[in-house]
Amino acid sequence: MDKNFTGCLEDTRTADAKLKDWQKDVALSILIKWEEKEFGSFRTFGIRNQNGGGTCVMQTCDLICGIENFLEEGKFIEFSADLYNFRSNASAGMIGVNALELLKNKGLTLEVLLPSMEMNEAQIAELKRSVSDNEIAKIFRINDYWQLPFNVDAIASIMETGRKNGVAKPVMVWFAFPRTEWTSMPQIGTNNTDIVRHSVTAVEYGMMNGKKGLFIQDSWGLHNSTVNGLRFISEEYMKARMIFCAYVNDLNNDWQNKPEVVIERPVLRIGSKGDDVKKLQRLLVAGLEIDGDFGTKTYGAVTRFQWKNGLLQDGVVGRLTWQKLLE
Give the tens place of pLDDT for each residue, 179-216: 999 999 999 999 888 999 999 999 999 999 999 999 99
| pLDDT score, position 255 | 47
**CA nearest to 4, candidates 171, 195, 181:** 195
Residue 256, sorted as left (phi over 0), alpha (psi -120 to 50) or beta, turns out to be: alpha
> Residue 109: which pLDDT band, with cuts at 50, 70 and 90?
very high
CATH number for the domain spanning 298: value is 1.10.101.10
Integer Cα distance of 63 and 82 in angstroms: 13
241 with 273, same domain: the answer is: no
DSSP characters for 2-21? -EEEESEE---S-HHHHTTS
Q: Does the pLDDT of residue 236 top 90, yes or no? A: yes
Q: What is the pLDDT of residues 35-83, one digit of tens each?
A: 999 999 999 998 999 999 999 999 999 999 999 999 998 999 999 999 9
pLDDT of residue 263: 54
The answer to whether residues 70 and 170 belong to one domain is yes
> Which of 207, 227, 250 is the last residue before a domain boundary?
250
H-run or E-run covering 212: strand 211-217
Task: Mark which of 190, 224, 250 sits at the end of a domain.
Answer: 250
**Residue 170: what pLDDT?**
98
What pLDDT, on a 0 to 100 scale, did the predictor assign at position 28? 56
* DSSP, residue by residue, 135-179: HHHTTS-EEEEEE--S-HHHHHHHHHHT-BTTBPPPEEEEEEEEG
Q: What are residue 207's phi and psi, to 5 degrees?
A: -125, 145
**What is residue 218's predicted lDDT score, i.e. its pLDDT?**
96
Tell me what pLDDT residue 97 has.
93
Query: Which helix or strand (DSSP H or E) is residue 215 part of?
Result: strand 211-217
| Domain finish residue from 250, 281, 306 | 250
Q: What is the pLDDT of residue 24?
A: 64
pLDDT of 29 higher than 70: no
pLDDT over 70 at 31, yes or no: yes
Sign of CA pseudo-dihedral 152, 154, 157, 163: negative
298 lies in the same domain as 188: no
DSSP string, 54-115: S-HHHHHHHHHHHHHHHHHHS---PBPSGGGGG-S-SSSSEEHHHHHHHHHHT---BTTTS-
Looking at residue 42, its amino acid is F
What's the rounded mean pLDDT across residues 76-96?
A: 95
Structural domain count, the chain: 2
Computed over every residue of the chain, the mean pLDDT equals 89
CATH number, domain containing residue 132: 3.90.70.10
Going by pLDDT thresholds of 50, 70 and 90, the confidence category of residue 261 is: very low
- What are the tens digits of pLDDT across the range 143-166? 889 998 899 999 999 999 899 999
Of 214, 308, 318, 235, the residue nearest 272 (C-alpha): 318
Q: Is 300 strand, coil or helix? A: helix
Q: Are residues 69 and 108 in the same domain?
A: yes
Which amino acid, one-letter code, is at 263? I
For residue 279, the enclosing domain spans 265-326
